[in-house]
Amino acid sequence: MTAYVEPLDAILWFTRIELIADGALGCVENSLRHASHLLQLTPEPLRPFVGLSIGAELFEALLDSGDFDTAARHLVAQRTALSVDGTAGDRLITATIKCPALGLNIHGMGETVADAVLEAWAARVLALRAEFGADLSRLVHRFPHGGLVEQRRSSPQ
């Protein structure tokens, strides 16, 4: 059983996402950890659309072990929505997240898988804000029954 976590105000939540998108948290580990914490505090209307694909404790364990690439992949609740082109050693890696709520594929690029996925993830969340408003009221109107676009996985893979 998962305990209910009180969500952050949507405007504050998106402001914190902007910090990640801008690279203001210093390193990828800090950004991934912050992203994980923000996902636990996601505003109610957005919860059916974003979430970790593993539990927060497992995500933290990946960060503690230095496996940032794997941790970043778990920022996308529906693992089939994420594709990554390139591998370690490639000059540039591209991550793409399919977003049915927007009808778009959102791309991110970076020198590592973690950088690319984190960029795509933050861009996707900010694109949801741009489409549905900072207070998410248009999201609720467009998907009145939650429109479960991304399904959280309860077990690690």
65 within domain boundaries: yes
157 within domain boundaries: no
pLDDT at 107: 98
150 within domain boundaries: no
5 within domain boundaries: no
Quote the domain boundaries for residue 81: 10-142
Per residue in 20-36, pLDDT (tens digit) is 999 999 999 999 999 99
pLDDT exceeds 70 at position 140: no
18 within domain boundaries: yes
Question: pTM for the whole thing?
Answer: 0.86
Report the Cα 146 to chain-centroid distance in Å. 18
33 within domain boundaries: yes
47 within domain boundaries: yes
153 within domain boundaries: no
Per residue in 89-129, pLDDT (tens digit) is 778 999 999 998 889 999 999 999 999 999 999 999 999 99
pLDDT at 8: 92
Per residue in 102-112, pLDDT (tens digit) is 899 999 999 99
Structural domain total, the chain: 1
pLDDT exceeds 90 at position 150: no
